[in-house]
Amino acid sequence: MRTTRTKLLIATALTAGLGACSTVDRLNAVGQPPAMTPIIDPRDRNGDRRITMPMPREEVTSYQPNSLWAAGSRSFFKDQRATKVGDIVTVLIDISDKAELTNKTKRSRKSDETADVTNLLGFEGATAGKLLPEGFDPSAAIGLGSDSSTEGDGSVNRKEKVELTLAAVVTQVLPNGNLVVEGHQEVRINFELRDLSVTGIVRPEDISATNEVKHTQMAEARISYGGRGQITDVQQPRYGQQIVDILFPF
């Protein structure tokens, strides 16, 4: 019990410390718009974490004698689409999801068992007053019954619509030629900062002639759209309420 209480006090102290640091930062920013993050190498944002995926055998590009065409080339003339680290590709995000589910379950079961003792080797009359209480009715000696019922209803109705366009940078070229892209964008309007980020893996073949790729053609896509500022801060519960929601067991 003491160990649990100690852990609880430590967690509360750490949370209060983090909240205090955040409070000081917010007090220092009173009257100031949200600070925008500096432009950095996208690889540094994730600690230069390399991505490893299953790869086929590497194909070597070869040139035929008296030919200007190279095996494995995508076009005869120079291709302006993203192909190497540092190139920029436009990501088109068009999410239009709708899900509607309805489930209903109903189950009922009833059982009844009855047993009587009308004859007991001729002693049913003699033993009624000695071993059994007065007024005992052998015809209703045992009676069992059970009744159970279960009923449940559930429904899901969800609809999402997001349309965005974001430029991403090629941060890595995988051995099979697929491109790892990552993009980050911030837009500040008055005292509210909109934050958009996207990362994923795309095939060069899926990039259109206008150097655009759809989010549905990205593998391992991670799309984040949110914001921070005065309006977002008002919509969030206070730190004390969040702590109570986590620790209060009822």
Cα–Cα distance measured from residue 226 to residue 121, given in angstroms and rounded to the nearest whole number: 85
What SS3 class is residue 240? helix
| The pLDDT value given to residue 203 | 93
127 pLDDT tier (thresholds 50, 70, 90): low
Please write the tens of the pLDDT for every residue from 210-220: 899 999 999 99
Cα–Cα distance measured from residue 237 to residue 234, given in angstroms and rounded to the nearest whole number: 8
Cα–Cα distance measured from residue 167 to residue 198, given in angstroms and rounded to the nearest whole number: 9
Q: Structure pTM?
A: 0.55
Q: Running DSSP on this structure, what letter comes out for residue 19?
A: H
**Alpha helices of 29-123 — where are they, by DSSP H?**
42-45
User: Is 202 or 74 the better-scoring residue by pLDDT?
Assistant: 202
Nearest 10 degrees: CA dihedral of 159, 165, 170, 175? Answer: 40
Name every residue whose Cβ is closer than 8 Å to that of residue 8 and which is 6 or more positions away in sequence.
247
What SS3 class is residue 128? coil
| The pLDDT value given to residue 179 | 94
Please write the tens of the pLDDT for every residue from 15-41: 555 555 666 776 777 667 777 777 777
Q: Running DSSP on this structure, what letter comes out for residue 105?
A: E
For the chain, the domains span 1-32, 101-155
Residues in the chain: 250
Rg (CA), the chain: 35
User: Is-contact 200 221, C-beta < 8 A?
Assistant: yes
Residue carrying the six token digits 């969800």? 158
Direct distance between the N- and C-terminal alpha carbons of the chain, in angstroms, rounded to an integer: 19
Please give the helix or strand (H or E) that residue 204 lies within, else none.
none
Of 71, 53, 54, residue with least CA distance to 62: 71
Name every residue whose Cβ is closer than 8 Å to that of residue 6 and which is 6 or more positions away in sequence.
none
Is the pLDDT at 199 greater than 80? The verdict is: yes
